[in-house]
Amino acid sequence: KMKHVPIRTCIVTRVKKPKNQLVRIVRTEDGDVVVDNGEKIKGRGANIDMKVEIFDKAIKKHILTKALKLNREFSEAEVSKLRQNFINFIEEKEIRHSNKPVKIRITKQNLLNKINVEA
Chain segment 15-74, per-residue pLDDT in tens = 999 988 899 999 999 889 999 987 788 999 999 999 999 999 999 999 999 999 998 888
User: What is the predicted pLDDT for the residue at 26?
Assistant: 95
How far apart, in whole angstroms, are the C-alpha atoms of residue 113 and residue 119? Answer: 10
- Give the pLDDT of residue 100: 60
Vertex 85: Cα angle to 75 and 25 (nearest 5): 75
| Predicted pLDDT at 54 | 95
* Dist. CA 68–CA 45, nearest whole Å: 6
pLDDT higher than 70, residue 111: yes
pLDDT at 56: 94
DSSP letters of 54-113?
HHHHHHHTTHHHHHTT-SSPPPHHHHHHHHHHHHHHHHHHHHH-SSSPP-----HHHHHH
Per the CB < 8 A criterion, the answer to whether 38 and 98 are in contact is no
Which one-letter amino acid corresponds to residue 43? G
> At 117, is the secondary structure helix, strand, or coil?
helix
Instruction: Please write the tens of the pLDDT for every residue from 57-98.
Output: 999 999 999 999 998 888 899 999 999 999 999 888 777 655
Indicate the pTM of the whole model.
0.73
pLDDT at position 2 is 80
